[in-house]
Chains A and B, each alone.
Chain A
Amino acid sequence: MSSLTVHVKWQKQKFSDVPVDTSQPPELFKATLYSLSGVPPDRQKVMVKGAVLPDDSWSGIALKPGATVMLLGSAEALPEAPATPPVKFVEDMDESELAKAMDLPPGLNNLGNTCYMNATLQCLRSVPELRSILSKNRLAGLGGAAASGGGPEVLVSAMSNLFAALDKSGNAVSPHVFLHLMHAAFPQFATKAEGGVFQQQDANECWVELVRCLQSRLPISSLTRPQLPNLAKTTEAGGPTDVSFTDRYLTGSMTCRLTCQECGPEAEPEVNLVETFSQLSCFIDKDVKYLHTGLTNAMKSSLTKRCDRLGRDAVYSKQSKITRLPAYLTVQFVRFYYKEKEQVNAKVLKDVKFSLTLDIYQLCSEELQARLKPVREQLRRMDEWLALQSGAAKRRPGGPAVAQGAEQATTADTGTNNASWPPSLPPVDPGAPPPPAYYFGDDPGSNASGQYMLQAVLTHQGRSSSSGHYLAWVRKADQPANANPEEDVCHWADILRLSGGGDWHCAYLLLYGPRQLDRDYSSLPPPTDASASQGGAAGTN
């Protein structure tokens, strides 16, 4: 038994008549194969009739002359485990980790018809400045100190505690303490139905109370905020050193011009009043189909007042112009009216469309409009860039699915990471100054552009304010999340469907936040869309 020849199959190749000497150790044969195939001997697997050739002996291998032998192996490097840290799987996470990873908003448990409060809290919580100031207050011990007292102060500290708990936990939190304290502070919410269950309340009332509570009890200390000149504001509580959060971020002001309709504008000097507001109301009349119409209508109203000149009551028209815009604008749909007959707060189900962005430039006074202009110009330029890029992404064949219908609705983030397409934005220089703030430099907490984007929606389902169900829909990074106990994520289209007109949830309160610039566009040239201009040229020819 000595040398014979075999055929060796290796991948798709075949080496014919390879000599084998079975009296020699198999290494020799493997060396021959190495020279033929380039596969190092330790990576070779030589297979003969259902057996692998061992390294040391030919035992168990019956090799016939002319037989076919299969060589398995390659000179390729072995694959290596990736350097990235091991993946943490959903299955391995506990609930809080899960919520963190999935970036799900933590929910608040319903403690028996407390959804009005939960929804209000979730909406308020979507204001990042409020969260940060509450947590600062809490750390500064203000909350703790005040906790011994009663009333609104305790409520604020309870709110900060509650928000902290929500931040920490991924699970739903039960706001027992807060509810208790709120009932203590505002006994009107503590009414109980027969059977000892709390009654449903009007979320807007709760909202107003909580905001008022924040106004009086949440000062922005001079330590945390630069000293600012007091603007034309009527602040009831707190001097220039002690501006409340509500005043800064949630309250705007407007000037109202009262003219007596019977005397005419010339006859009597106009009365100019300065009013503050924490909410704009949208009255739902017959002709109001859009939010903007409702808001505009609310700017003009009439009231009856004693006219000094006539010496009797006369109808005055009231024309308001906004002089300061808060960073966070609350809009209330006045959906509930008291029906005498049924003695119930009945609801107007009418469909009033609102949009994801809101521009109330038109409602502002001329001085304010002038001040708003520079930032608006920048925003306009940002929009141009974004439109260009989302159009490009759409046009690109097989491009990433960023142009999907639902995601179009996201206003702020789309496309900025899309740097590869020709008319791309120059990358942000890390050393460049941060983009202009949304507020006027001399008035933190104001809105410098008159443009808002939808931040949270509080909706109601049901036929009267003291029944039914309230939900909060809060914006996440680019998707709104339905932040009540059922942790759901939905689409922009679903949000727009909340406009009313049926028995589904209707928007009751809208919380608009400021539109922000992602960079300083003032230094950028206006984008030129090559293809668009080409198309235009073709059209003129």
Chain B
Amino acid sequence: MSEKVEKTEKQENAKANGKANEKEAKEAELSEEDAQLKDELNMLVERLQESDSNLYKPALESLRNLIRSSTTSMISAPKPLKFLRPHYESLRNEVYVKIPDGPTKRLCADIVSVLAMTAVDKPEFRTDSLRYRFLGSGEDVGAWGHEYVRHLTGQCVLEWEAMAEAEQQQMLRQRRLERRQQRQQSGADSKKDNDDNDEDNDESGDEDGEEPMEEDGPAAGGVRITRDQLLSLCELIIPYHMSHNAESEAIDLCVETGQLAMLEKHTGQANYQRVCLYLTSCVPYLPDEDWTAVLDTARRIYLKFGDQGNAMRCALKLNSPELVSKQFAETPDPTVRKQLACLLGRQQFAVDWDEDAYDDAELLSELMANARLNEHFHALGRELDIMEPKLPEDIYKSHLEPTRMSTGTVDSARQNLASSYVNGLVNCGFGRDKLLMEDDNKMKWIYRNKDAGMMSSVATLGWLLLWDVDGGLVQIDKYLYLQDDNIKAGALLACGVVNSGVRNECEPALALLADYVENKTSCLNKAALIGLGVAYAGRGSGGESAIAKLQPLITEQGKPEQAALAALSCGVIAAGTLHSDVTSSILQSLLEAPPGDRVKPLARLHALGLALCCLGRQEAAEPVLAGLAAVEEPVRSLARVLCEACAYACTGNVLKVQSMLHLLSEKAQEEIGAGDAGSSSGGGGSRSTSTASSGRPLENNSGSPSAAAADKKSSEEATTAYAQGAAVLGVALVAMGEDVGKDMAFRIFGNLLRFGEANIKRAVPLALGLVYTSNPELKVLDLLSKFSHDSDLEVALSSILAMGLCGAGTNNARLAAMLRQLAGYHAKDPLALFAVRLAQGLTHLGKGTLTLTPSHSDKFLNNPGALAGLLAVLVAGLDMRRLLLASGWDCLLFYLTPAIQPRLLMTFDADLQPMQVPVRVGQAVDTVGQAGRPKTITGFQTHTTPVLLAYGERAELATEEYEPVSSLPLEGFVILRKNPNYQA
């Protein structure tokens, strides 16, 4: 055997002759000290290779001492390891084997295990460190230094994966065996033969594959590692990592081996925050089944160390009412509970809690209901001195527009409507404006709008008075007594809009709107349906009574418009709850809908209602997807895509993104297929979308084959086109969860814009608007600006609207200039100008104090109602001309309301009295996995609360005098208390 080894060594030497020369040259340069060390090591190895077994132990011990005493630097390997590397194989395969069992052999195993670090580049030695570790004396894992532990960690993971794979194979084989036995029992069948053949083939393949693995065992010194062994090693490694600032490695090990409980055990007070930060940041990159476990571990660790706030964040992210309620009830500190109530209010999460159990129940319910949102927002407005209402012209600044139309005194209904929207958006939440509520000309402006425009104009009152249920409804109420149906409808919608995001125990929105959901007058009906959806958006179980009103309408026959809006509103209300009644009735209505209704633009909204129910539910949404199989095309593909995208919304799930992209490439393939003339109908069938190929009745193809094929082809194209727009939004929806995914999505969208079909191109800007909502990054604006001049009007329209979404509530000057230029460019196209005006209004949303982004709490949580609202608008935007910007349908824009939130930081004392403290606001820095206590913000400025926070900004207190009661990110409403350790 030794000869063999020598031979191989020689061969290697021969191979790497050139390199060897270099090496020799280097060796010649060795310092005296090194040369001495090398000689010593060589001598020791030689001694081990000799047959005198008495010398083994001292030799090994001196080896050990030499290795341990060497200090390592960051840039070079320890000298002893470097010099011993050529001897690794001989030590492993000769010396270790010949030493008799006993402490010496174990010592030798230790040495081999350490030396194996130098040999990981050879596959057969890959996990040697680990294997010989188990053969060794099992002394303190950290004795050999950090690098050694890291190698062990890595090899543990490798080994664990191999085991899992082997087990899976084993299980498969087992199952197959069982099946075969069953079948043999049930008797022979002619059909069975085929299957058997297949399986036999499979099996033989499997066995081939497995053999090397079994060989692997003996090669590694006859060691078979068991799980228990691995776990016991983990038990040693994890504390080592934890105490040596290497939490990330400990966590990786735990996550890979599924030993999260161990992590929980070994996390300490000192590092739990970093551990949890790492855990929660891992979540988007984990496979579906792991992420709940990981989040839950983080939650439990937080709880263990009394960090109620962050534990609640995790519970909310897990979307588990039980956990949230439990934690809310078990929070010991009433002040912290108030802070949690603020968080719950922001997330719009309905909690079951016992009102009688707390002294401050009224206050808590007020916080959870966001009842004071309006009041606090006004305080912010006063602080920033922006209460003065603005006119649309203050936003347009049309004297700066490149070309000016002398429209002069002529009223354009569309432009006046745009001005109404802009007025509503800009003065949103401030309760004052100059068009609708000025004392003397209340109705004048309304009458300068036309028909449905009047409705929308009145409804913008809802935006103006947003969140002000007590004071605002009165101002809307009087319009309910008027005769004009459009005005009345607008007032109804405004009532719903005012209540968005605010709970009130009297449920005025439901009380006022419920009577009109079945009204014969189309506009009243529409207003009531949309209004209810907006008012109860994302309310989940809190909106049960509203759902009860809407749900019967979904299945009502003969009123597709009403049914679609009811379905959408139900979906918005029940976002992410998988509400069984809603899903089943929408499914039923999709099944029963007459074919004509399915292709109408409204069918998209209908399907979206179903999809919204699945929001963020991942696998739990599978039954809904299964239910869709029976629905006929083209709605099936569309609904499937929407449901899948919603189910995996914000998860960053790469597989889902890939499947969506696959669908997007579908059309191109079909065209290539069409190139082969006379491709049979069967071929067409096989080329149909992967999601759609199942369940199509074969009868369709019989009859006149050619006609049917052609027919099918066109219908298939329509189907694909129909679903593709949704798929583009789906990519955005899935990817919007985390930053890496966002960047990847941006690149993908760039390609789609360049190479995509028209229907894809039209959707891409909207998708960008979704990913970058209220986050006007320059690269996005540039891209959108380019396509806002596109010759395809629909692309231009969606780009313009997307620009508005990207800049929503930012007052971004660059964007404002771009839009002004666009207003000039599109001055002659009323529809495009309308879109530009809307975008301008959105950019200045709430005079730059509001945001549309559904994510909050340091981008960790997503408000489902807000996301649902955004999606409703975007999906409607897939058909700009017939839906979102069409006259009479522009009121769908009010679905944006649930997404409107102030982007502020306001501080309160324990009695919830507003308090002004200095805070530093700066760009957030990613600190995940960094050692020590890195700064979390950069380029900060110091302000006094209340203060605005832009997207990607973070705040920290600039005073030691106070501290937040919880360690939640400083966003929204934050309760502070005196720092007990503060010394002035």
Contacts and interface: CB of A to CB of B under 8 A. Distances in A.
A102 B407 contact: yes
B447 A48 contact: no
B699 interface: no
Given A89-B416, A90-B407, A90-B413, 6 more contacts: A82-B441, A84-B444, A86-B447, A87-B411, A102-B410, A489-B405
A13 to B, nearest CB: 9
Contacts of A90: 407, 410-413, 415, 830
A91 B478 contact: no
B186 interface: no
Interface stretch (B123-131, B466-474, B740-748, B851-859): B466-474
A503 interface: no
A85 to B, nearest CB: 10
B505 A72 contact: no
Interface string B482-509: 1010000000000000000000111110
B514 interface: yes
A69 B470 CA distance: 12
A102 B444 contact: no
Contacts of A144: none
Interface string A69-96: 1101110101111101011111110000
16 contacts: A9-B470, A11-B470, A45-B477, A48-B506, A52-B515, A72-B473, A79-B479, A81-B447, A82-B443, A87-B450, A89-B413, A89-B416, A90-B830, A102-B406, A489-B404, A489-B405
A232 B244 CA distance: 113
Contacts of A9: 470, 506
A11 B508 CA distance: 12
A185 interface: no
A28 B606 CA distance: 45
Nearest to A490: B403
B448 interface: yes
Contacts of B409: 101
A49 interface: yes
B414 interface: yes
B942 interface: no
A43 interface: yes
B840 to A, nearest CB: 18
Interface in B388-424: 399, 404-416
Interface in A27-80: 43, 45, 47-52, 68-70, 72-74, 76, 78-80
B580 interface: no
Given A11-B471, A90-B413, A70 B408 contact: no
A73 B450 contact: no
B79 to A, nearest CB: 78
Contacts of A82: 441, 443-444, 447
A368 B506 CA distance: 87
B904 to A, nearest CB: 22
B183 interface: no
Interface in A1-35: 9, 11-12
Contacts of B357: none
A531 B893 CA distance: 52
Interface in A441-456: none
A366 to B, nearest CB: 44
B506 A49 contact: yes
A49 B506 CA distance: 4
A534 interface: no
Interface residues on A, range: 35 or more
Interface residues on B, range: 35 or more
A401 interface: yes
Residue picked from B399, B408, B511, most chain A C-beta under 10 Å: B511
Contacts of B982: none
Contact of A401 (B399, B443, B471, B510): B399
B442 interface: yes
B408 A47 contact: no
A104 B828 CA distance: 14
Contact of A89 (B404, B412, B443): B412
8 A-B pairs with least C-beta separation: A50-B507, A50-B510, A70-B506, A90-B412, A47-B511, A89-B413, A101-B410, A47-B506
A74 B410 contact: no
A174 B406 CA distance: 25
Interface of A: 9, 11-12, 43, 45, 47-52, 68-70, 72-74, 76, 78-82, 84, 86-92, 98, 101-104, 401, 404, 479, 489, 491
A405 to B, nearest CB: 9
A74 B481 CA distance: 12
Nearest to B479: A79
B715 interface: no
Given A12-B470, A72-B473, A81-B443, A51 B511 contact: yes
A12 B471 contact: yes
B545 interface: yes
A72 B474 contact: yes
A91 B477 contact: no
Given A47-B507, A50-B507, A78 B478 contact: yes
B477 A72 contact: yes
A123 B416 CA distance: 35
Contacts of A479: 406
B363 interface: no
Contact of A69 (B441, B442, B471, B506): B506
Nearest to A70: B506
A103 B507 contact: no
Given A9-B506, A47-B507, A50-B507, A88 B470 contact: no
Contact of B508 (A70, A80, A101, A102): A70
Nearest to B505: A68
Contact of A74 (B416, B478, B510): B478
Contacts of A87: 411, 447-448, 450
A88 B411 contact: yes
A69 B504 CA distance: 11
A340 B515 CA distance: 89
Contacts of A89: 411-413, 416, 450
Interface in B102-119: none
Contacts of B512: 45, 47, 52, 72
B447 to A, nearest CB: 5
A51 B511 CA distance: 4
Contacts of B442: 79
Contacts of A51: 510-511, 514
Contact of B511 (A52, A78, A98, A102): A52
A261 B512 CA distance: 100
A161 to B, nearest CB: 28
A47 B495 CA distance: 13
A57 to B, nearest CB: 16
A103 B508 CA distance: 49
B511 A50 contact: yes
A479 B405 CA distance: 11
A273 B466 CA distance: 83
A12 B465 CA distance: 14
A403 to B, nearest CB: 11
A79 B443 contact: yes
A171 B228 CA distance: 90
A91 B443 contact: no
A302 B405 CA distance: 50
Contacts of B470: 9, 11-12
A449 B879 CA distance: 63
Nearest to A102: B410
A8 to B, nearest CB: 10
Contacts of B506: 9, 47-50, 68-70
Contacts of B482: 78-79
A45 B415 CA distance: 35
Residue picked from A11, A91, A98, most chain B C-beta under 10 Å: A91
A15 to B, nearest CB: 13
A76 to B, nearest CB: 6
A80 B477 CA distance: 14
Nearest to A48: B506
Nearest to B549: A50
Contacts of B444: 82, 84
